C-alpha cells in the first residue's frame, strides 16, 4: 500500500491509499481549487448523569450536504470543472477529514471528565473513507484486492488516530442505503476517533471484565468458541468466522470475528488481512440475495480502546453488521420497547436467519 497526505482548500487533511503497482502520485497535481471557508470546530460534549453517557451536540451538522444528485456527488473524483472533495480524476481509496465533523475541537482541548454540568469541547476527529472512485460500485462489488486495501487503510487510520492525545476509541463503520439514513450515495464509510469510550463497547468491556474476575476466562473467546461449534455459523474460513449471534437484536444481524484473539485492526497479520476480503464479500452477496435487492445495513468495527485502563487487554476485534430490513418492503422500526425502554424484541429467529443465509 502506498500512502500520501495532502490538504484540501480549507486546510483539511486528505490521505491517498493506492494499490501496489500504481504509479506514485505527484502532490503538485492534487490541488483543491475550490473556495472554501475554514472548518470551525463547533461541537460540544454534555454528560447525561442519569444514563452515565456522553452526548455530542453538533448543531452545525444540520447544514451538511443532503442527498445531492449523482452529477453533484462530492465524493466522486474531480473531473473538468466539477470540483469535489477528492481533487484528482481517479483514486483507489481516500480518507479525509469530514467537512461537517461531530468531533474535532482545536488541538490542546482538555479531555472530557465527569466534573459537573458544564459542556466541554468535543475533541477527536471524524474522517470519511471512500472505497472506490466508482459511484455505482457498492462494497459488495469490490475486488478482494481492493477490500484488502480498505482494510489496510482502516488499520493505518486506527493506529494513527489512536496515537493522538485525547483519543480513547477509534470506530470505523459503513452505513449503506437510504433506509439506514445515508445522505451521500457514493460507496463510503467513516471513522470516528472518540474522546471517550462509547456506550456499546463500554458495556461489553465491563461485562468482559466481570466475567474475567469471576472465571478467569475471556468472555469474547468463550462466546466465539460456542458460536463456531453451533448452528448459527453463516460462512467461515481458516482465519474468520461469520455467524448470527444467539441473542440477535435485529432481523438481519451477523458478527464477524478473527478465529484467533486479536485486539484491533492494526494487529491483524497478513494472512488474516488476505482472508478477510473473500469471506466478507461472500457474506455481503448473501445478504444482498436475501430479499433480491441491496440490503441497507450498518457495518461497525468493535475493537480495543486506546487505553489499558479502559479494558484494552481483554478486548477482541470484531465486525457487527445489522440491517433494519425485516422482509421485502418492510422495515423494523424501533418502537416503544426498544426506544423507550432499551429492550429489544426480535421477530426473527437467529437460527432461521443463519440457515437462510447459508442456503443462499
The upper half-sphere exposure of residue 38, i.e. CA atoms within 13 Å in the direction of its Cβ, equals 6
Contacts 24+ apart (CB under 8 A), 69-74: 70/135, 70/185, 73/135, 73/184, 73/185, 73/186, 74/184
> pLDDT digit string (tens) for 135-147?
999 999 999 999 9
Strands (E), the chain: 2-7, 13-18, 44-48, 53-57, 93-97, 120-121, 125-130, 169-176, 188-194, 233-236, 240-243, 252-258, 297-302, 318-323, 325-327, 330-331
Q: What is the pLDDT of residue 40?
A: 83
> pLDDT digit string (tens) for 314-328?
999 999 999 999 999
Q: Tell me the pairing of strands 120-121 and 169-176.
A: unpaired
Grid cell for residue 18: 493506492
> pLDDT digit string (tens) for 83-93?
999 999 999 99
Greater model confidence, 65 or 304: 304
Residues in the chain: 360
Q: Which is nearest to 192 in space by CA: 209, 211, 168?
A: 168
Global pTM?
0.96
Q: Are 115 and 126 in contact (CB under 8 A)?
A: no
Distinct helix (H) and strand (E) counts, the chain: 6, 16
Query: Which residues are marked as active site?
Result: 188
Report how far residue 299's alpha carbon sits from residue 322's, in angstroms, rounded to the nearest whole number.
Answer: 7
Grid cell for residue 127: 474522517
Can you list the domains of the chain with their CATH numbers?
2-198 (3.30.428.10), 201-359 (3.30.428.10)
Average pLDDT, the chain: 94
Q: What is the pLDDT of residue 118?
A: 76
DSSP 8-state class, residue 310: G
Task: Average the pLDDT over 332-345 and give the result.
Answer: 94
Q: How confident is the model at residue 106 (pLDDT cuts 50, 70, 90)?
A: low
Q: How confident is the model at residue 65 (pLDDT cuts 50, 70, 90)?
A: confident
- pLDDT score of 107 more than 60: no
Beta bridge partners of 240: 258
Q: What is the pLDDT of residue 111?
A: 61
Q: What is the pLDDT of residue 46?
A: 92
Amino acid at each position: 500500500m502506498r500512502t500520501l497526505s495532502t490538504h484540501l482548500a480549507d486546510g483539511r487533511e486528505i490521505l491517498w491509499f493506492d494499490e501496489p503497482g500504481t504509479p506514485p502520485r505527484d502532490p503538485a497535481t492534487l490541488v483543491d481549487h475550490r473556495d472554501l471557508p475554514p472548518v470551525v470546530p463547533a461541537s460540544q460534549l454534555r454528560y447525561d448523569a442519569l444514563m452515565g453517557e456522553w452526548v455530542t451536540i453538533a448543531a452545525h451538522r444540520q447544514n451538511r450536504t443532503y442527498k445531492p444528485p449523482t452529477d453533484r456527488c462530492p465524493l466522486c473524483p474531480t473531473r473538468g470543472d466539477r470540483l469535489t472533495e477528492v481533487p484528482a480524476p481517479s483514486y483507489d481509496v481516500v480518507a479525509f477529514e469530514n467537512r461537517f465533523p461531530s468531533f474535532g475541537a482545536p488541538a490542546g482541548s482538555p479531555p472530557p471528565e465527569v466534573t459537573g454540568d458544564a459542556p466541554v469541547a468535543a475533541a477527536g476527529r471524524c474522517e470519511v473513507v471512500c472505497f472506490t472512485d466508482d459511484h455505482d460500485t457498492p462494497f459488495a462489488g469490490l475486488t478482494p484486492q481492493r477490500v484488502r486495501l480498505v482494510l489496510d487503510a482502516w488499520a493505518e487510520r486506527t493506529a494513527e488516530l489512536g496515537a493522538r492525545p485525547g483519543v480513547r476509541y477509534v470506530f470505523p463503520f459503513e452505513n449503506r442505503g437510504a433506509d439506514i439514513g445515508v445522505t451521500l450515495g457514493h460507496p463510503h464509510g467513516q471513522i470516528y476517533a472518540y474522546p471517550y469510550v462509547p456506550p456499546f463497547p463500554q458495556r461489553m468491556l465491563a461485562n468482559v471484565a466481570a466475567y474475567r474476575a469471576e472465571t478467569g476466562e475471556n468472555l469474547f473467546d468463550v462466546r466465539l468458541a460456542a458460536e463456531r461449534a453451533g448452528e448459527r455459523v453463516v460462512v467461515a474460513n481458516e482465519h474468520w468466522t461469520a455467524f448470527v449471534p444467539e441473542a440477535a437484536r435485529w432481523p438481519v444481524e451477523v458478527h464477524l470475528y478473527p478465529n484467533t484473539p486479536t485486539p484491533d485492526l492494526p494487529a491483524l497479520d497478513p494472512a488474516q488481512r488476505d482472508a478477510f476480503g473473500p469471506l466478507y464479500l461472500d457474506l455481503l452477496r448473501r445478504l444482498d440475495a436475501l430479499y433480491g435487492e441491496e440490503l441497507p445495513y450498518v457495518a461497525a468495527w468493535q475493537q480495543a480502546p486506546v487505553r489499558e485502563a479502559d479494558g484494552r487487554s481483554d478486548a477482541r476485534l470484531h465486525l457487527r453488521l445489522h440491517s433494519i430490513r425485516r422482509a421485502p418492503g418492510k422495515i423494523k422500526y424501533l418502537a416503544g420497547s426498544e426506544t423507550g425502554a432499551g429492550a429489544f424484541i426480535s421477530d426473527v429467529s437467529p437460527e432461521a436467519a443463519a440457515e437462510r443465509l447459508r442456503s443462499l
